[in-house]
Amino acid sequence: MKKSAAASRFSVNSATKTHSLHLVHPCDVCDVRPYSACAALNPDEQSRLVDIMTTVEVDAHQPIFDEAERAQHVFNVTEGAVKIYKLLSDGRRQITGFLFPGDFLGLTHNENYAYSAEALTHTKLCRFSRQKLEALLDEMPKLEQRLLGMASHELAAAQDQMILLGRKSAKERVVSFLIMLSNAAVRHGRPDNPVGLPMTRNDMGDYLGLSLETVSRALTQLKTQGLIQLLDERRVRLAKPEAMREIAGGV
Amino acid sequence: MKKSAAASRFSVNSATKTHSLHLVHPCDVCDVRPYSACAALNPDEQSRLVDIMTTVEVDAHQPIFDEAERAQHVFNVTEGAVKIYKLLSDGRRQITGFLFPGDFLGLTHNENYAYSAEALTHTKLCRFSRQKLEALLDEMPKLEQRLLGMASHELAAAQDQMILLGRKSAKERVVSFLIMLSNAAVRHGRPDNPVGLPMTRNDMGDYLGLSLETVSRALTQLKTQGLIQLLDERRVRLAKPEAMREIAGGV
DNA sequence: CGGTCCTTTGACACAGGTCAAGTAATGTGG
DNA sequence: CCACATTACTTGACCTGTGTCAAAGGACCG
């Protein structure tokens, strides 16, 4: 795949642009996803969206955008995995989400992005000009309903994360996380088990409000108790998913 | 104020209904709020909204709705204060937000509410039939844009709360909380200082992911350090707001 | 095949939780 | 208006879960 020559963090797939209607299948904006079934776009609306869209690629561990940056684009993951995070001034980090194909990022009502985003693996995204997308919103209420549905879904997920961070033990957090990844895999049409871990222990800790050592110890403990098997460091089999859902605690 | 005779948790202000356009001034749906300035409704649209609206009142410490309940209404606080929370099966509680006049609650894309809501003080709300509101959305894109703006604002707040819960110390959490309340007061047109605390120490703990004792100790410590004065148990003067914003840590 | 990064594991420290007692504020019925 | 009960808050003593520091494999990469 040819990289763009400019000093950009993105490689733009201009060659594929003309076929994009076919290529953007897992894109939440142009296509229907399970949790945004409320609004279906007609072919004309789809093509207007595709007109303001570019597909881009980002290598593993490369930034997609930074919190301080002006929010000029919104993105939809089509392949790969992404982490989004916020930093405190002394460097403490909170990962606020891991995103997979179909997930949306960069939506904000301010000048700047609300968080930073970085690719965990080699990642492909649909990129939309924010300005042009907002102009389309006035004319396409269905699209806006879809965005509202997605925001609403994200908000519910954020509240689940708050109860995890505020009230769950380390073991409960790690179990909840594995269940969450398994659920996300199903939602995105992949097998629910075993679960792939495209992020480091450090990333997991920064998502779960734990140190990387505590994450590692919790995984070891779950393995010892026969709840999981570590196929390799980045692949976990849930041996007793029902018992795990019980531990995760009803949320 | 006359109470409704039915065994309802709400007292419905039917007498004020006819004048409601005047009474609902701080309602986010009918009226413009600072953070939803993107979309202004015309008088006709406002009156269509008022048609599907009822004003209701709830006494202090009374439920507004429960997580398990079917989500038939959405609400907008016009007077008072509300807490929204989620429970784990063993009773651990996470308060996911405190809501004040202008704030919205009950929006969901599922059958049921995503959380429970309870009045902290005597509270007045605008209540909308969810079904009728959703029907209006198709015809009023401006309204939908406003809801999207509000959801987007809430999402940003949820992410700030995640970094607080995941990465801040007890003292930083309490300071962040006081600053947050002060900011909210300004946003709602009240003085930024001193700050009123309509919730108990237990509620603060359940919001900040701390025990009530730790909240109390942190407040005592802030008082000892001269950063705050406790005018009474439910009223705090921020003596050094700038130093506090520093401690709160840039978020 | 040497270096780098990731992960695991151990030893120890400490922030914050838990338990308990005492005090202050608030409400209630007489 | 006052006794009493109840609820909220503070403070102390102690304990424990998780963080920190350190060291030693492993995996991966040039």
Residues whose C-beta lies under 7 Å from strand D: A 169-171, 205, 209-211, 213-214, 232-233; B 200-202, 212-213, 215-217, 219-220, 230, 233-234
Burial of residue B187 (CB within 10 Å: 0-12, 13-18, 19+) is: middle
State pLDDT tens for residues A118-139.
Answer: 999 999 999 999 999 988 888 8
In B, which residues are within 8 Å of A160 by CB distance? Answer: 86
What does the mean pLDDT of chain A come to?
A: 86
State pLDDT tens for residues A15-40.
Answer: 444 333 333 445 655 554 433 334 46
**What pLDDT score does B30 carry?**
58
pTM of the model: 0.89
Query: What amino acid occupies position A36?
Result: S
Q: How far is CA A76 from the centre of its chain?
A: 9
Q: Do A89 and B166 touch (CB under 8 A)?
A: no
The candidate with the shortest Cα–Cα distance to B75, out of B111, B27, B141, is: B27
Q: Which of these ranges, A69-73, A107-111, A181-185, B114-118, has the smallest mean pLDDT?
A: A107-111
Asked whether B56 and B10 are in contact (CB, 8 A), the reply is yes
| Residue in A137, A155, A249 closest to B145 by CB | A137
Distance CA B85, CA A62 (A): 37
pLDDT tens string, chain B, 251 residues long: the values are: 334 433 466 766 544 443 333 334 456 555 544 333 334 677 887 888 888 999 999 999 999 999 989 999 999 999 999 999 999 999 999 999 999 998 999 999 899 999 999 999 999 999 999 999 988 888 888 888 888 889 999 999 999 999 999 999 999 999 999 999 999 999 888 999 999 999 999 999 999 999 999 999 999 999 999 999 999 889 999 999 999 999 998 66
Asked whether A98 and A56 are in contact (CB, 8 A), the reply is no
Start and end residues for every CATH 1.10.10.10 domain found in chain A = 168-248
Burial of residue A8 (CB within 10 Å: 0-12, 13-18, 19+) is: exposed
Count of CB atoms within 10 A of residue B230's CB? 15
Classified as helix, coil or strand, B124 is: strand
Q: Is B251 on the interface with A (CB under 8 A)?
A: yes
Distance CA B65, CA B83 (A): 11
Start and end residues for every CATH 2.60.120.10 domain found in chain A = 7-140
Q: Is A38 on the interface with B (CB under 8 A)?
A: yes
Record the tokens describing residue B220, joined without a space.
């005592």
| Residue in A88, A141, A153 closest to B109 by CB | A153
Strand C atom within 7 Å of A157 CB:
no
Q: Is B167 on the interface with A (CB under 8 A)?
A: yes
If residue A165 lies in a helix (H) or strand (E), which one and from where to where?
Answer: helix A141-167
Q: Is A159 on the interface with B (CB under 8 A)?
A: yes
Q: How far is CA A55 from the centre of its chain?
A: 17
For the residues of A64-98, what is the DSSP string, one character each?
EE-TTSB--EEEEEEES-EEEEEE-TTS-EEEEEE
In A, which residues are within 8 Å of B141 by CB distance? Answer: 137-138, 141, 144
Record the tokens describing residue A130, joined without a space.
């924010």
- D7 closest protein residue (CA to C1'): B200
Which CATH fold would you assign to the domain A7-140? Jelly Rolls (2.60.120)
**What pLDDT score does A45 carry?**
79
CA distances to A30, A91, B138 from A108, rounded to whole Å, are 19, 23, 22
Please tell us whether the domain made up of B168-248 is placed in CATH 3.40.50.10490: no
Q: What nucleotide is nearest B208 when CA is compared to C1'? A: C16
Bond from prior residue into B34 cis (ω within 30 degrees of 0): no
